[in-house]
């Protein structure tokens, strides 16, 4: 190779080694092989070379061109790989770092309580049922053996709605019990369902809200008896409150839709508010064996089937468990209150495994 070609080769190769990015690489390529590059110029000048030297000179130029192209190509591959490595290192995301800003939302204590109720009854074999907030008065009252003019209709301070459905007056459901009726009308027994949702009564003071939440339970089978009801309810309450020895008392009562009916009380200390000890009793839910008339109203033959039902206020048990003193802030959407009483979406469930032993339902 003539000296000028050796020089061009050496200079190009060392410039290429010195190029650390694609921009530098391209400058080297253009300087040698671009339209006005040094090698291109030499090839263009081949016509001026003496004819006897032209062939050899041409061959040398072409060899150098092929060599430089190959070296450029290889260097390009190295720089591409280095650029990719740098990007991967640069854009690496450590997914174990906590998110910024810290998440501010939290799970509302009502939602959290409903999740826990569903988990405990779920472990006992109860599924979830749903019904509409706007009911007709037959579902809300009639099917449940609460005839027109029955005092319970006044007791519940019903919100009547304008309009009617199939000749029946529309109401905001005053309890979740109409979902019992809907479930029996739409499903063949055996049935094990709970329903949780909003309920409405025209009542508003420190301990009552016109909208609140209830949980309803229903179990229908051929041989369900009061012992099953008691087992289920006791297991639920002990599991929910996390107190294995929580005293539970069943007190004879009256509901139109159950016979016999029982109010359920748990043991607590009225002075300190502590649950589980103290010798006082706190009413917590209503329950009973589903009235034969209710079964018949909902298309289930009471000679073949029987069952139990219960109903409770979700705010009430949430307040007791979580030590929340006032009902009204539940619905204020106050971020400070939610920050204090809300739950992290990632917090482990406060379930007391092993307490929900499978319930009393056969």
Is residue 141 a contact point for ligand DAH (CB under 6 A)? no
Contacting residue, 175, 182, 192, 238, with ligand DAH by CB under 6 A: 175
CB of 190 to ligand DAH, least distance (A): 17
Reported as half-sphere exposure (CB side, CA atoms, 13 A), residue 101 has a value of 2
Interaction between residue 236 and ligand DAH (CB under 6 A) = no
Cis ω before 290 (30° cut-off from 0)? no
β-pair partners for 172: 134
Minimum distance of ligand DAH from residue 194's CB (angstroms): 10
Give the ranges where the chain is alpha helix by DSSP (H): 3-18, 22-33, 38-44, 51-90, 109-123, 137-140, 151-155, 178-186, 226-241, 292-297, 314-322, 335-341
Give 145 or 177: the residue with its C-beta nearer to ligand DAH: 177
Q: Output the smallest distance, CB 216 to ligand DAH, in A.
A: 5
Judged by beta carbon, residue 19 or residue 215, the one nearer ligand DAH is 215
* CB-based contact 245:344 (threshold 8 Å): no
Taken in order 94, 97, 99, 101, the sign of the CA dihedral is negative
Q: Which of 178, 288, 307, 342 binds ligand DAH (CB under 6 A)?
A: 288
Q: Binding of ligand DAH at residue 177 (CB under 6 A)? A: yes
Q: Pairing between strand 168-172 and 211-221? A: unpaired
**Which one among 189, 267, 286, 342 touches ligand DAH, defined by CB under 6 A?**
286
Give the integer Cα–Cα distance in Å for 169 and 156. 16
Q: Is 178 in the site for ligand DAH (CB under 6 A)?
A: no
Among 240, 255, 268, 305, binds ligand DAH (CB under 6 A): 255
Q: Which of 309, 314, 338, 361 binds ligand DAH (CB under 6 A)?
A: 309
Residue of the chain from 116, 216, 235, 315 that contacts ligand DAH (CB under 6 A): 216
Residues 6 or more apart whose CB falls under 8 angstroms from that of 324 comprise: 109, 318, 330, 341
Binding site for ligand DAH (CB under 6 A): 175, 177, 216, 255, 258, 286-288, 309-311
């Amino acid at each position: 190779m003539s000296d000028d070609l050796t020089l061009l080769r050496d200079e190009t190769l060392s410039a290429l080694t010195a190029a650390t990015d694609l921009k530098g690489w391209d400058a080297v390529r253009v300087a040698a092989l671009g339209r006005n590059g040094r090698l291109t110029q030499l090839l263009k000048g081949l016509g001026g070379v003496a004819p006897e030297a032209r062939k050899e000179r041409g061959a040398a130029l072409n060899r150098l061109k092929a060599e430089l192209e190959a070296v450029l190509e290889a260097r390009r591959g190295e720089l591409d790989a280095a650029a990719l490595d740098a990007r991967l290192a640069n854009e690496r995301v450590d997914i174990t770092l906590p998110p910024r800003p810290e998440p501010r939302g939290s799970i509302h204590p009502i939602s959290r309580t409903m999740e826990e109720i569903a988990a405990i009854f779920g472990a006992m074999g109860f599924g979830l049922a749903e019904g509409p907030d706007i009911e007709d008065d037959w579902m809300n009252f009639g099917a449940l053996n609460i005839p027109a003019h029955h005092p319970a209709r006044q007791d519940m301070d019903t919100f009547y709605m304008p309009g009617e459905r199939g000749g029946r007056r529309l109401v905001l459901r005053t309890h979740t019990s109409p979902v019992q009726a809907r479930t029996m009308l739409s499903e063949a027994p055996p049935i094990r369902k709970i329903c949780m949702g909003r309920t409405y009564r025209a009542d508003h003071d420190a301990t009552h809200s016109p909208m609140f939440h209830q949980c309803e339970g229903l179990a229908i089978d051929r041989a369900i008896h009061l012992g099953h009801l008691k087992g289920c309810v006791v297991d639920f309450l002990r599991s929910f409150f996390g107190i294995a020895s929580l005293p539970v008392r069943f007190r004879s009562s009256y509901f139109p839709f159950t016979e016999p009916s029982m109010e359920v009380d748990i043991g607590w200390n009225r002075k300190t508010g502590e649950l589980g000890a103290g010798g006082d009793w706190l009413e917590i839910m209503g329950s009973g064996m589903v009235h034969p008339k209710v079964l018949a109203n909902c298309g289930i033959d009471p000679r073949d089937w029987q069952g139990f039902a219960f109903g409770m206020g979700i705010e009430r048990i949430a307040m007791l468990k979580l030590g929340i003193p006032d009902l009204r802030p539940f619905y204020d959407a106050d971020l400070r209150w939610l920050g204090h009483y809300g739950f992290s979406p990632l917090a482990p469930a406060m379930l007391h495994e092993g307490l929900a032993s499978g319930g009393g339902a056969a």
